[in-house]
């Protein structure tokens, strides 16, 4: 694609990067076929190619974002399915991240939208705020159908059960069982520890059982991904994590930073890029990104122990977009589940997003609801007893649309190798 940036514009490193990305696009449109919003809405402006044209026009002409740009970029899930499909290697992620930031800083949204976005950006990354907010949403859950607009959407998304905080998420060190093979830091994250603390608990049991000393580093928290995808500040979160893990690496060494929420994995693996121009952080950020591993990558390296119980259940594996497209991790979780004794089935249209996408299901509930219905129908067509996924957002989203229990992959691996049966499976 030809671009027309001036030399003055190209002096800016972000514009240079956008120029490079835009030039790689050859308008072939292969990406449209696998884009969930184009598949649903059939509008070229809701396809990756259409959005690339909108972003090009905005950036080249140095314009503030228009209502049209905001509408179609807001509808993008950042699922990155288009990057998997693109034969030209167009880095849509870095382009849309830049566009979202421009929208956030130059476009004035309606008041209710600004209020909702501000609230989500403030509350979700901070467990001490999210926990009471979730309690309020849970109390209003029975009224979800009658509450007006977004309030009803938020109430409906509250989980059926509110778990207690887990002690696992506090800063501490869990010793390896037997001889220590690796020393790893675990990202305990933000929203996940509030809605599904059993995931970190299962991860710690699984990793220590396989010879890892697991560190929950003081000062580490939200990866910044939630606010990054809203075009807001994410670097303060990134820097806090980089400081915490760099201190930990200096004190005792780190073989990996383990992430069990694949959406966060995409962001942490991108810290090196996000902070590439920051003199004080660029090197450490790149080191942190290089150490980041999804838990399924680490477990593949460690080699899963033989199962200690007969699991034998039929598991539909839902491949989170952030794992299959964002991190290009495809077969590892399925292979681990099969090794643990489960019969793994992959539902049709596995490349399509479930509609969760960070805060997307709260900001675009209509499209998210349609994507969930489609995903659940595809999953249920395989007649599973259990659904497994590697991202808490997908787990919450899918669980809201089906009676089949939905759990994290690590909960099943932990159960198979000596841990407790996941509570969600008690009724099986």
For binding to ligand SF4 (CB under 6 A), which residues are involved? Answer: 25-31, 35-37, 48-49, 51, 76-82, 85-86, 88, 90, 92
Nearer to ligand SF4, 50 or 197 (CB): 50
388: which residues sit within 8 A by CB, 6+ positions away? Answer: 315, 316, 317, 318, 333, 337, 342, 406, 407, 408, 409, 412
> CB-based burial of residue 403 (10 Å sphere; 0-12 exposed, 13-18 middle, 19+ buried)?
exposed
Q: In whole angstroms, give the CA distance from residue 205 to residue 413.
A: 10
Question: Are the beta carbons of 353 and 371 closer than 8 angstroms?
Answer: yes
Closest CA to 49 of 78, 94, 82, 77: 82
Question: Are the beta carbons of 355 and 368 closer than 8 angstroms?
Answer: yes
Nearer to ligand SF4, 34 or 241 (CB): 34
Nearer to ligand SF4, 187 or 321 (CB): 321
Residue 211: count of CB within 10 angstroms of its CB: 15
CB of 286 vs ligand SF4, minimal distance in Å: 25
CB of 149 vs ligand SF4, minimal distance in Å: 24
Rounded to 5, what percent of the chain is helix, strand, coil?
55, 10, 40
CB of 82 vs ligand SF4, minimal distance in Å: 3
Nearer to ligand SF4, 79 or 116 (CB): 79
Nearer to ligand SF4, 9 or 37 (CB): 37
CB of 93 vs ligand SF4, minimal distance in Å: 8
Residue with tokens 């793994």: 344
14's enclosing H/E stretch is: helix 13-24
CB of 29 vs ligand SF4, minimal distance in Å: 5
185's enclosing H/E stretch is: strand 182-186
CB of 364 vs ligand SF4, minimal distance in Å: 10
Residue with tokens 């990406």: 31
CB of 27 vs ligand SF4, minimal distance in Å: 5
Q: In whole angstroms, give the CA distance from residue 354 to residue 335.
A: 22
> CB-based burial of residue 164 (10 Å sphere; 0-12 exposed, 13-18 middle, 19+ buried)?
exposed
Nearer to ligand SF4, 82 or 413 (CB): 82
CB of 178 vs ligand SF4, minimal distance in Å: 43
Nearer to ligand SF4, 324 or 396 (CB): 324
Buried residues in 64-93 as b, exposed as e (16+ CB within 10 A): ebeeebbebbbbbbbbbbbbbbbeeebbbb
Nearer to ligand SF4, 61 or 88 (CB): 88
Nearer to ligand SF4, 19 or 414 (CB): 19
CB of 354 vs ligand SF4, minimal distance in Å: 12
Closest CA to 37 of 69, 87, 78, 84: 78
């Amino acid at each position: 694609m030809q671009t027309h940036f001036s030399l003055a514009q190209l002096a800016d490193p972000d514009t240079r990067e956008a120029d490079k990305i835009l030039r790689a696009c050859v308008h072939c449109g292969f990406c449209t076929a696998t884009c969930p919003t184009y598949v649903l809405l059939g509008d070229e402006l809701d396809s990756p190619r259409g959005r690339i044209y909108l972003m090009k026009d905005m950036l080249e002409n140095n314009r503030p974002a228009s209502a049209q740009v905001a509408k179609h970029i807001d509808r993008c899930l950042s699922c990155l399915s288009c990057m998997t499909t693109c034969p030209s290697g167009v880095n849509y992620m870095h382009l849309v991240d830049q566009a979202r930031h421009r929208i956030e800083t130059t476009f004035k949204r309606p008041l209710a939208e600004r209020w909702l976005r501000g609230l989500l950006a403030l509350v979700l990354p901070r467990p001490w705020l999210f926990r009471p907010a979730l309690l309020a949403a849970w109390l209003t859950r029975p009224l979800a159908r009658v509450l007006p607009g977004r309030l009803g959407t938020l109430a409906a998304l509250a989980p059926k059960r509110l778990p207690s905080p887990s002690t696992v998420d506090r800063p501490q060190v869990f010793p390896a069982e037997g001889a220590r093979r690796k020393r790893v830091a675990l990202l305990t994250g933000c929203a996940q520890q509030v809605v599904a603390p059993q995931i970190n608990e299962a991860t710690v049991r699984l990793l220590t059982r396989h010879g890892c000393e697991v560190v929950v580093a003081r000062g580490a928290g939200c990866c910044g991904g939630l606010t990054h995808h809203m075009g807001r500040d994410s670097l303060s979160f990134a820097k806090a994590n980089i400081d915490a893990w760099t201190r930990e690496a200096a004190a005792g060494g780190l073989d990996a930073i383990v992430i069990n929420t694949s959406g966060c994995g995409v962001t942490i693996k991108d810290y090196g890029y996000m902070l590439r121009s920051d003199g004080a952080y660029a090197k450490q950020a790149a080191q942190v990104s290089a150490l980041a591993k999804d838990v399924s990558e680490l477990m593949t390296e460690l080699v899963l122990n033989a199962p200690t119980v007969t699991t034998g259940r039929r598991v539909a594996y839902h491949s989170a977009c952030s794992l299959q497209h964002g991190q290009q991790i495809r077969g590892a979780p399925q292979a681990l589940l099969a090794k643990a004794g489960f019969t793994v089935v992959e539902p049709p249209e596995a490349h399509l997003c479930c509609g969760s996408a960070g805060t997307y299901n709260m900001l675009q509930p209509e499209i998210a609801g349609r994507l969930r219905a489609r995903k659940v129908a595809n999953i249920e067509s395989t007649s599973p007893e259990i659904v497994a996924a590697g991202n808490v957002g997908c787990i919450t989203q899918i669980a809201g649309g089906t009676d089949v229990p939905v759990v994290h992959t690590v909960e099943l691996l932990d159960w198979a190798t000596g841990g407790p049966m996941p509570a969600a499976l008690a009724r099986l």
